[in-house]
Amino acid sequence: SDVLTQPPSVSVAPGETATITCERDNIGAKSVHWYQQRPGQAPLLVISFDSDRPSGIPERFSGSNSGNTATLSISRVEAGDAADYYCQVWTFNSDHPGLFGTGTEVTVL
Amino acid sequence: EVQLLEAGGGLVQPGGSMRVSCTVSGFSISDNYMSWVRQAPGKGLEWVAVIYSAGSTDFADSVKGRFTMSKDNSKNMLFLQMTDLRAEDSAHYYCASKYCSSGSCYFDHWGQGTLVIVSS
């Protein structure tokens, strides 16, 4: 089945950069969107169309997508960045148009 | 201000049925694609269903044939009718609006979710 594979967890010290990957064959041909989900809260869009930041999202959040890997980077990590992060793609005219990644828990040390 | 408010969750027995709803304010659902996304406790996000502006629907394979999605444009409400419920359908159910452009879509507004528990 079609799967977007993310590492289960990433640990990062405050001030450092967290890098979260999302892997799928030829994902570079799709637009990838990223969500942050804090405990007990609904997901929040942090990156759309590979690298666009919605209004209100800090510049510390950035994205890229090429080949078989899409990447979300969080620079100068803060304690408030601790959350689960999910990638997502959409494919019209597919058996399963909506697809989320497996999710990555970011821990700030 | 955009708000999505789900309602109707609760406890249901395996094989039973349940309908959850989503009341939307701040924009008209008639012109938008709307979706349901679920999350089992402690698990990841799973897209469940979409209803397009014209009213056609699509479903994840895991719920196809058991769930239906509808909307009432006059009330700005969405509905997810779930039948033949299984333990693995237990989850928080979120309604979300979708923005689509250039052949892709993302979920830009989310409700806070309603919890459905399937258990005897």
Q: Is the pLDDT of residue A93 over 80?
A: no
b/e per residue B15-53 (b: at least 16 CB within 10 A): eeebebbbbbeeeebeebbbbbbbbeeeeebbbbbbbee
Q: Is the pLDDT of residue B17 over 70?
A: yes
Task: Centre a 10 Å sphere on the Cβ of residue A106 and count the other Cβ atoms it contains.
Answer: 19
Task: Measure CB to CB from residue A86 to each of B44, B61, B103 and give the nearest one.
Answer: B44
Task: Report d(CA A61, CA B70) in Å as an integer.
Answer: 36
Structure token digits, residue B59: 């479903």
Is residue A96 very low, low, confident or very high in pLDDT (cuts 50, 70, 90)? confident
Is residue A1 very low, low, confident or very high in pLDDT (cuts 50, 70, 90)? low
Q: Is the pLDDT of residue A9 over 80?
A: yes
Task: Measure CB to CB from residue B103 to each of A35, A45, A92 and give the nearest one.
Answer: A92
Is residue A64 very low, low, confident or very high in pLDDT (cuts 50, 70, 90)? very high
Q: What's the whole-number mean pLDDT along residues A73-88?
A: 97
A43-47, long-range: CB within 8 Å, 24+ apart, which pairs? A43/A86, A43/B37, A43/B45, A43/B94, A43/B107, A43/B110, A44/B110, A45/B106, A45/B107, A45/B108, A46/A72, A46/A85, A47/A72
Read out DSSP for A10-39? EEE-TTS-EEEEEE-TTGGGS--EEEEE-T
Q: Is the pLDDT of residue B58 over 70?
A: yes
CB contact under 8 A, B45 and A103: yes
Whether the Cβ atoms of residue A85 and residue A35 lie closer than 8 Å to each other:
yes
Task: Measure CB to CB from residue A100 to each of B44, B58, B99 and give the nearest one.
Answer: B44
Query: Average model confidence (pLDDT) for chain B?
Result: 95
Q: Provide, rounded to the nearest whole percent, the portion of chain B with pLDDT above 70.
A: 100
From chain B, the residues in CB contact with A35 under 8 A are 45, 107
What pLDDT does residue B18 have? 97
Chain A and chain B share a number of CB contacts under 8 A equal to 68
What pLDDT does residue A91 have? 84
CB contact under 8 A, A90 and B104: yes
